[in-house]
Structure 1
Amino acid sequence: MKFLALLVAIVPAVSAASWTATPFNPHSVPLAVRSPYLSVWLPQGEGTALNGAWPTFWTGSILGWAGYVKVDGTAYIFLGAPSGVDGTRKAVQKSVSFTSTQSQFVLTADRVDITVTFLSPIEPKDLVKQSLPFSYMSVSAQANDGRSHSVQVYTDITGEWVTGDNSLIANWTTSTADDVIIHQAQLLNQSIFSEASDHIQYGSAYLASSSKGATYQTGPDAIVRQQFVSKGKLANTKDTNFRAVSDNWPVFGIAHDIGSVSSSASKPVVFAVGNARDPAIQYITAGGVLQERSSYFWTSYSSVASALSAFVGDYSAAVTRAKTFDDKVHKDASKISSDYAGIVALSLRQAFGATELTVSKTSSGYNASDVLMFMKEISSDGNMNTVDVIFPAYPAFLYTNPEFAKYLLLPLFEYQASGQYPNKWAVHDMGASYPKALGHNDGKDEPMPLEESGNMLIMTLAYTQKTGNKDLITRYSALLDQWTQFLVDEALIPASQISTDDFAGSLVNQTNLAIKGIIGIRAQAEIESLLGNTNSSSNYSSIASDYVEQWQDLALSSDKTHLTLSYGNDSSWGLAYNLYADKLLGFNLFPQSIYDLQAKWYESLKESDFGIPLDTRHTYTKSDWQIYTAAMLESTSESLRDKLISGVYHYASSAIVSNTEPFGDWYETTNGIYHAFRSRPVVGGHLALLTL
């Protein structure tokens, strides 16, 4: 298959299970990951076949998605864990592989091998395509005995796709217009902008496929699936007994007759799944006016059905674009190492899967020039556009298309420029609960004043440097200067406060936090220079340089062997990952001697297969900050860079029974077991080495 072409340089790893895994068997395999509400995974632990468990939402709750293939009259399960159907066997998984956009499984159904490919496109050059909340599953078949065989394929999704509360009543429709079968399901009583257990409670879930050679059926799970297993096709009937999701489990099925299959792979049967809603986001604007924003794809389509039909028809071209994208990512990351390429490949869908591109709507239609991107702080607290979550995720967007970075920052700039946020430092987030970007007019957002002010200055300059576009620094120069003045007052001697690692608790005189604040001041010096403000630039540059000199006296241990976690505590240390920004922005503000001693210190620490602890308060670490540290020290010590990367790789590829989460970024270095975080966009930070 073309999908596997870029993987030939990697030696497949043998998983804890009986199949081969390339580049490795992750904690959870991404299946359909496009948005905070289309996020479908296959949990692994020590290894789970595609037909060994139900797919799940990122939270771990089941999303019923079943698949059968019939070979010469015998039915085999290839997807999910359906029961209550007579006359079935289980296909045997031979392999699993993944790239940045695709996950592929090969299973054997007796005399036929089937290849199941899940494609969640990443479309950096096309905002319409990137904003489509749909994902593909394709199935092809190939005889493994040199003979011809009759093959049919079936899939369905359940009502679990529309809610986080299965006691609620759903309804559904099926259409067959424009040569596409579309099942659409939704809650009977919609609750706009609301979630239940992180599932959205309005909008609709979709399953679609070409109607050519296809049949469909809706109804109780056992009845619809038994129809396919017994007949090899569906009855083209519609269940109109709308009911609770858990009441006889309504499913929405589509079947295709592939026909006679020989030793050449059949043309893939393409299915699309999705979750769409309109409006998508509630957003506070000037004067407290709440604006309803829509997904960007509405600028090109008049209905979800037309967008979904186009998506189904675009599969072949989408695969070509995905291969080009995957090849580039793999080539770039492999220049670092094969371990690094595997980490990056697993990270990209997750990073983009927390985001949505939106536009506003006027009386004359959708405003394609008013683009805002929103990010959900998945699993940690559900905030919107959390600044210290965007910051670690930022490399993924700088690498793929820096304009995404601008679209993420704009809501934060627009809100604070409106004068509604009362504090003099940068806001923590755009809203306490996705998808409601209501701001914090009371100023009582989570208090990370130094963290967020430094982050905003660093990210704004990084975008400007990558694009040459001065729009942000011109429009929001007053805000940027306001935050810088706050840093001048607070950065060198940080008061007791939390940083982005808020789970570790507050701390006074944080060495790493001071680094961020000082780099933020230096970033503003560069911004002022770009704006032609020579005097202001010189002033901020001098302050930053002076602070670095003072900071060294405060931050170094008394024996000058390492940076402390907090000033004066010689026995403490931590990952000084904020120095990455010094490299990203090309300042070299901090002397090479600091990088040299930190590299030597980290290399002297007791070996762990899973990397270096975040700091001396605990034995846990963060995968994103380890890669940031690897990036900042790359030019100092490639061996340490590789050691840090290998620690993250070993964790990501470890077959541990409790590790079933979508790439958790917070984990124990003592045993490789993940902590509470899962599926967070901060894994975009794993691309840090690709941004330097």
Structure 2
Amino acid sequence: MSQPALSNLPSTQQDIRLTARTSFVIHPNFAVTMRLLVLGAALLLPAVSSALSWTATPFSPPSYPLAVRSPYLSAWLPQGSGTALNGAWPQFWTGSTLGWAGFVNVDGSSYSFLGDPAVSGATFSKATQKSAEFTSTQSTFVLTAGGIDLTVTFLSPVEPSDLLNQSIPFSYLALSAASNDGSSHSVSVYSDISAEWVTGDDSLTANWSTTTGDTIFHQVQLEDQTEFGEINDHTQQGSAYYATLNTNGVTHQTGQDIVVRAQFINKGVLANSQDTSFRAVSDEWPVFALAHDLGTVSGTSATVVYAIGHVRDPAIQYIIADNQIQQRNLYFWSRFSSVTDVLSTFLGDYENALARANAFDAQISSDASSISSDYAEWVALSVRQAFGAIEFTISKDSSGNFNTSDILTFMKEISSDGNVNTVDVIYPSWPIFLYTNPAIGKYLLLPLFEYQATGQYPNGWSVHDMGAHYPNATGHNDGNDEPMPLEESGNMLIMTLSYVQAASDTSLITSYYKLLDQWTQYLIQEALIPANQISTDDFAGSLANQTNLAIKGIIGIRAMAELANLVGNSDESSNYTSIASSYVTQWQGFATSSDGKHLTLNYNNDSSWGLTYNMWADKLLKLNLIPESVYEMQTAWYTTVEAQYGVPLDTRHTYTKTDWQTYTAGIVTDTTVRDTFISALNAYAADGENNAPLSDLYYTTNGEVYQFRARPVVGGHFALLALQAAESSA
């Protein structure tokens, strides 16, 4: 990954309809000043939810995921110190506005429940939020509107055991009303989306259509599209859809936002009319609305379900042999012949999808709660964000038929520089895939292996990524990718062995042994005394003799010994085992401070230290390469350098990383220290200081975000569960 240029930071372009905009403050570096805390003090930090006027369960996060399914379907509700569902517009992960509005009409009076619209010529009130809750797959809000309570559920399915389902780029919004006073009430509900869902430039012209049948849906897209193109991280290709089942009492309308919304506010129904004056997104703000008449509600109403999504085809362009480009399609197209078919199935499957989501949520909660309740909350906040950065694709054969045996997964390096399948972004994300379905990890690695096996990448170490900007996985035949040779080579070897151990599948070894060995030769030459190069934490700058980087390379060599042994190359295995053992002894001598109290950030620099999170791989792979005394030494040291919101990344700065702290929590030798790490992370997430989709890089001194948002590296928060899974399979 790389530090974003200022041009890549979220836009601050004003939107007259936006009443709450995400802050994105980059602080200057400053000297390390930290106070020591008694172990467990983070447990005493109050969650921001205590100051809210509604109940927040388990706490109020920086931003609630609403519809988060892909790099281009990523809608969030910013929080800060607390924002109701109808207190701000939903935002794309960058912080730009996504028009998404909702009203409910109760006994002739209308109330807004979603978004923050202003509608001239119509009178409405704001529903009062009573509660907000998040689980791994759902964000649920309850709002009071007159004599009813409206339950609003945003379900972004996460189905790691069904990759075709996971590839469907749609999310659910479900509404149900319940009488709160024992009386009967006439109720209708409304929701719309704007054309902001299809572009990062609101001056561009969109067109749209409405299709009615068993399913009724609006489709909107740019008039002039750019295949595989982006503006401000929004795709400029494909269409957004807003759909519902066409049951009794459904009405629809497209047109100017204030006109369409006033129609429902004043009359409780829509006009079943279409505006065909295609225009710029910001020209009278066209919206696409659907309303349901729920009739008389005396108990709890039936559930109204909307589907929201974004579809483009093809999805990815991918370099294959001889510098040829292959266009790849999302996996779900192998089952469905049209978007109408997808929407009909997706909407009809809501109750089953909800049951599967509830079971998935419960399993994660149960597994993580065996570590701590704080940890269960921490991982639940991370799931949709991690899965929302990846897409599952397949190719077509020479006859144009889908090849479902050719699954490749692509990840966008969200927020930093948009690379495709960045190795050192996959690596920190890796634990969630190991825990949920190791095959996903294999499908993330395959594009990297396949490309380098063609011989087009000229360097002797692992490539950094598959392409400079998503969704263009077009390689780096010039060899000028971001140079992280030691980092990425170690990562590839570690992830390969961990996949093989988890899945009992040696296909990556047998297919790509030559590449794996090539990277090992590089590590043998460079790992013990690393040159002045960057690691995955490139924002901190380059450094020679990095302790943490060296141990990653040494573990990579030892991992290759295991890979060689698994395919019967016993002599090579013995050789690599011997080299790694020799290196780790020397490394321990180089990297231990002269007083024997901690590992240094870089060799022979006694005043320095850092999170040695790369030792996690030693535990994951069950190599027992690093002496237990080193883990014990580091555990004791962390208790002396903890700040209010965790342990800094290293002595150069006061900021830290959420993923690397969680990795470190997994390998400390004292459960009290482990729990202090996790509690400090939870305190950061609940501190009310931030309103971006969970940032992985923040200041330990005050809990404020340094940079980054919505990145998939939060998959690393599953580091403890991945270790548990590895231990149980031993």
TM-score range, shorter chain: over 0.9
Distance, in Å, in 2 between the alignment partners of 1:623 and 1:140 is 36
Tell me how far 1:267 sits from its aligned partner. 1.6
Deviations 1:509-535 (A, max 9, x none): 000000100000000000000001100
Aligned residues of 2:218 and 2:242 also touching (Cα < 8 A) = yes
2:545 to 509, 513, 537: 509
Taking the TM superposition and a 5 Å limit, the aligned residue runs for 1:353-502 are 353-362=388-397, 363-502=399-538
Tell me if 1:42 matches 2:77: yes
Gaps of 5+ in 2: 1-45, 724-730
Aligned residues of 2:215 and 2:340 also touching (Cα < 8 A) = no
Distance, in Å, in 2 between the alignment partners of 1:660 and 1:15 is 17
Tell me if 1:682 matches 2:701: no
Tell me how far 1:111 sits from its aligned partner. 1.2
1:670 to 701, 706, 711: 701
Tell me how far 1:13 sits from its aligned partner. 7.5
Alignment match, 2:678: 645
Aligned residues of 1:105 and 1:115 also touching (Cα < 8 A) = yes
Aligned residues of 1:38 and 1:133 also touching (Cα < 8 A) = yes
1:299 to 324, 329, 334: 334
* Secondary structure of 2:381's aligned partner: helix
One-letter identity of the residue aligned with 2:617:
A
Tell me how far 1:265 sits from its aligned partner. 2.0
Tell me how far 1:12 sits from its aligned partner. 9.9
Taking the TM superposition and a 5 Å limit, the aligned residue runs for 1:478-557 are 478-557=514-593
Tell me how far 1:609 sits from its aligned partner. 2.5
Tell me how far 1:676 sits from its aligned partner. 1.5
One-letter identity of the residue aligned with 1:512:
N
Aligned residues of 1:12 and 1:22 also touching (Cα < 8 A) = no
One-letter identity of the residue aligned with 1:667:
Y
One-letter identity of the residue aligned with 2:325:
L
* Secondary structure of 1:691's aligned partner: helix
Distance, in Å, in 1 between the alignment partners of 2:680 and 2:106 is 44
Aligned residues of 1:53 and 1:80 also touching (Cα < 8 A) = yes
* Secondary structure of 2:283's aligned partner: coil
Distance, in Å, in 1 between the alignment partners of 2:130 and 2:586 is 60
Tell me if 1:142 matches 2:175: no
One-letter identity of the residue aligned with 1:307:
V
1:340 to 370, 375, 378: 375
Distance, in Å, in 2 between the alignment partners of 1:369 and 1:627 is 35
2:284 to 242, 248, 262: 248
Distance, in Å, in 2 between the alignment partners of 1:361 and 1:675 is 43
Distance, in Å, in 1 between the alignment partners of 2:68 and 2:667 is 30
Taking the TM superposition and a 5 Å limit, the aligned residue runs for 1:503-652 are 503-605=539-641, 607-633=642-668, 636-652=669-685
* Secondary structure of 1:208's aligned partner: strand
Distance, in Å, in 2 between the alignment partners of 1:337 and 1:22 is 16
* Secondary structure of 1:18's aligned partner: coil
Alignment match, 2:28: none
Aligned residues of 2:49 and 2:686 also touching (Cα < 8 A) = no
Count of residue pairs brought into register by the alignment = 675
* Secondary structure of 2:117's aligned partner: coil
* Secondary structure of 1:587's aligned partner: coil
Distance, in Å, in 2 between the alignment partners of 1:128 and 1:252 is 28
Distance, in Å, in 2 between the alignment partners of 1:68 and 1:358 is 37
Alignment match, 1:94: 130
Deviations 1:277-309 (A, max 9, x none): 000001000001000000000010011221122
Tell me how far 1:17 sits from its aligned partner. 2.3
One-letter identity of the residue aligned with 1:331:
S
Alignment match, 1:7: none
* Secondary structure of 1:369's aligned partner: strand
Tell me if 1:124 matches 2:147: no
Aligned residues of 1:161 and 1:205 also touching (Cα < 8 A) = yes
Alignment match, 1:318: 353
Tell me how far 1:15 sits from its aligned partner. 4.2
Distance, in Å, in 2 between the alignment partners of 1:579 and 1:427 is 23
2:687 to 633, 639, 654: 654
Distance, in Å, in 2 between the alignment partners of 1:119 and 1:278 is 24
Gaps of 5+ in 1: 1-10
Tell me how far 1:157 sits from its aligned partner. 0.1
* Secondary structure of 1:14's aligned partner: helix
Distance, in Å, in 2 between the alignment partners of 1:56 and 1:16 is 24
Distance, in Å, in 2 between the alignment partners of 1:557 and 1:439 is 41
Distance, in Å, in 2 between the alignment partners of 1:225 and 1:312 is 24
Aligned residues of 2:47 and 2:683 also touching (Cα < 8 A) = no
Aligned residues of 1:13 and 1:23 also touching (Cα < 8 A) = no
Tell me if 1:112 matches 2:148: yes
Aligned residues of 2:252 and 2:273 also touching (Cα < 8 A) = yes
One-letter identity of the residue aligned with 1:297:
F
Aligned residues of 2:48 and 2:687 also touching (Cα < 8 A) = no
Alignment match, 2:220: 185
Aligned residues of 1:13 and 1:21 also touching (Cα < 8 A) = no
Distance, in Å, in 1 between the alignment partners of 2:709 and 2:632 is 34
Please identify runs of 4+ aligned residues in structure 1 that moved more than 2 A.
Answer: 11-17
Q: CA RMSD in A?
A: 1.0
**Relative contact order (C-alpha < 8 Å, sep 6+): which is higher?**
2
Alignment match, 2:36: none
Distance, in Å, in 2 between the alignment partners of 1:566 and 1:80 is 50
Tell me how far 1:561 sits from its aligned partner. 0.8
One-letter identity of the residue aligned with 1:265:
T
Aligned residues of 1:611 and 1:648 also touching (Cα < 8 A) = yes
Distance, in Å, in 1 between the alignment partners of 2:263 and 2:435 is 48
Tell me how far 1:608 sits from its aligned partner. 2.3
* Secondary structure of 2:402's aligned partner: strand
2:55 to 10, 15, 20: 20
Deviations 1:549-590 (A, max 9, x none): 111110000111100000000000000000000000011100
Aligned residues of 1:519 and 1:544 also touching (Cα < 8 A) = yes
2:344 to 309, 329, 333: 309
Aligned residues of 2:418 and 2:469 also touching (Cα < 8 A) = yes
1:12–1:259 Cα change, 3 Å? farther
Tell me if 1:277 matches 2:308: no
Aligned residues of 1:556 and 1:564 also touching (Cα < 8 A) = yes
Tell me how far 1:261 sits from its aligned partner. 1.0
